[in-house]
Structure 1
Amino acid sequence: MRFLLGLIGLIGFGALLELVPATGLIPDRYLPPTSRILATAADEVADARFWNALLDTLITWGLGLGIAVAGGVAVGVLIGSVPLLRAATASTIEFLRPIPSVALIPLAVLLYGSTITSTLILVVYASFWQVLVQVLHGVADVDPVARDTAAVYRLGRWATVRYLIWPTTLPYAVTGFRLAASVALILAITGELIIGSPGLGKEIAVAQESGAVPQMYALVVVTGLIGVAANLLTRTAERRVLAWHPSVRGEVPA
């Protein structure tokens, strides 16, 4: 039912975009009708250049997300498991986390130029904090009684992480992964737009600069569809990984 309502809303929005240019409210040279955008998107799909750009964007997104998740989980568990280390790094984390990733663009371009590496830096930086903060919350949520019990039974550090800290932290880590997936895609497109690294963002900028407005809108629609697909995939992964968790077992299928 939820999927059907979402589809109806999407169709309604498309119909509205079809009508607005026809009424003259907004000239179609600035806002082409939905039919023209979809026709242009079909033409783009038939072009090898589109698929190369799509692949570049997906590589930047996937690689950046993977690095951010691996680093965020490892650093989060390490810092969260050592109270002294967490106290020592708390102010540094709170200082670095709010810095906008786009503020790093001049530095990234200076170091690596208009390459995928520059955009990758933005993706990793923005996504890393999403995972790290969630993992820190997860480690802090470990039951003190369970922690004391593990200490009494002299559970080793790795055994404590595996059997005590990780099961409690996993739901937080999965939430961080889901948030990071969206942030990573946003920064990948943003980096390509501004830096000019290969990908859909660069193609959008080229279309805008050359006055190919329908092509620009078509590519924007494609990036939106990628975002929807990424959200569905991460939601599905979350339900599978946390099938044992009460929050997932209690869900009622829509």
Structure 2
Amino acid sequence: MSPVSSPALPAAARPARAVPGGRRRRDPDLRRGVLGVLVFLGGAELVGRAEVIDPKVLPLASAVLARAAGLAADGAFLAHVGATLLAWAAGLALTVAVAVPLGLLIGSVPPVETAVRPFVEFLRPIPSVAVIPLAMVLFPGKLELKLVVIAFGAVWPVLINTVYGLREVDPVAKQTLRAFGFGPLSVLGRVSLPSTAPFIATGVRVASGIALILAISVELMAGGQSGIGVYVLEAGSSEDGIEMIIAATVWAGLLGLAFDLLFTRAERRLFRWNVGRTGGAA
């Protein structure tokens, strides 16, 4: 289960200068992260050059990076990437469309939570990859198959974060609105949903990585005409198969990193008051 953000806090509770301070604190982390990647690549290159591992078994890091750079200009590979991204985006949108309303319902109506919790706790531990064979039978269309598997695996962080976010809403704020005659839907829209939004955003960020993993996993297991997973399957039979497979995997990792950075930046811009309260933590 993904980590949950801190409870919502009004914007006026923290000065705006807390955000730049958090940004300064993140700079050393970024430099250390880049340094760690460079050290890893340098170590892998040295191990390969020393022939500790046969380059035919594990290609040199420099060769893999060169191959990955070449894929950026390969129209066929980019078409595969586009197919994966289409499934990722559609699957993530379906996940949010299902998980957020369901989470709001479960978190707002205690009897519903009591009735639904056994099903949630039963389904949540099931590995998403395990449902792919069954989904292949029920949904023969490749895009439909990806959407169903992505939604099944990625729904949980969004759903659970939404439910827990509702629990952290200030009860005084809700009682105040009720005292002024506002109904349940007005309280939900004016207080509960805005306060829960940072929790939902964190869940969506976690779900985006899960969605990418599952999109590629479905392509690897079910095949198809396009997708990064399909490219990996096809590359396995070529002469430079291992190098091409690892290069494609590098691109999958870069896409996951890019999505995480994109969603993190969006969180900080949309919820500056929450970033300020948590000291700039993502």
Task: Tell me, yes or no, if structure 1 residue 36 matches structure 2 residue 63.
Answer: yes
- In the TM superposition, residue 131 of structure 1 has moved relative to its aligned partner by 0.4
- In the TM superposition, residue 142 of structure 1 has moved relative to its aligned partner by 2.2
- Partner of 2:101 in structure 1? 74
- In the TM superposition, residue 169 of structure 1 has moved relative to its aligned partner by 1.0
- Partner of 1:145 in structure 2? 172
CA distance in 2, matches of 1:142, 1:251: 20
Q: How many residue pairs align between the two structures?
A: 252
- In the TM superposition, residue 236 of structure 1 has moved relative to its aligned partner by 0.3
Q: What is the percentage of aligned positions where both structures have the same residue?
A: 37
Task: Render the CA deviation track for 1:38-57: whole Å, top value 9, x for unaligned.
Answer: 22223322221111001011
- Partner of 2:218 in structure 1? 191
Q: Which amino acid in 1 is paired with 2:247?
A: A
CA distance in 1, matches of 2:278, 2:167: 24
Task: Render the CA deviation track for 1:63-97: whole Å, top value 9, x for unaligned.
Answer: 11111112111111122111211111111111111
Task: Tell me, yes or no, if structure 1 residue 205 matches structure 2 residue 233.
Answer: yes
CA distance in 1, matches of 2:85, 2:138: 23
CA distance in 1, matches of 2:72, 2:103: 41
- Partner of 2:35 in structure 1? 8
Task: Render the CA deviation track for 1:170-213: whole Å, top value 9, x for unaligned.
Answer: 12111111111111111111111112142111211222244511
Q: Which amino acid in 2 is paired with 1:241?
A: L
Task: Tell me, yes or no, if structure 1 residue 231 matches structure 2 residue 260.
Answer: yes
Q: Which has the higher contact order (CA 8 A, sep 6+)?
A: 2
Cα 1:144–1:249 change in 2 (3 A) is: closer
Q: 2:127 aligns with which of 91, 94, 100?
A: 100
- In the TM superposition, residue 250 of structure 1 has moved relative to its aligned partner by 5.1
After superposing on structure 2, the runs of 4+ consecutive aligned residues of structure 1 that deviate more than 6 Å are none
Q: Does the 8 A contact of 2:107 with 2:167 survive in 1?
A: yes
CA distance in 2, matches of 1:177, 1:186: 14
What is the CA RMSD across the aligned residues, in angstroms? 1.8
Q: Does the 8 A contact of 1:114 with 1:195 survive in 2?
A: no
| Alignment gaps of 5+ in structure 1 | none
Q: 1:109 aligns with which of 96, 120, 136?
A: 136
Q: Does the 8 A contact of 1:114 with 1:196 survive in 2?
A: no
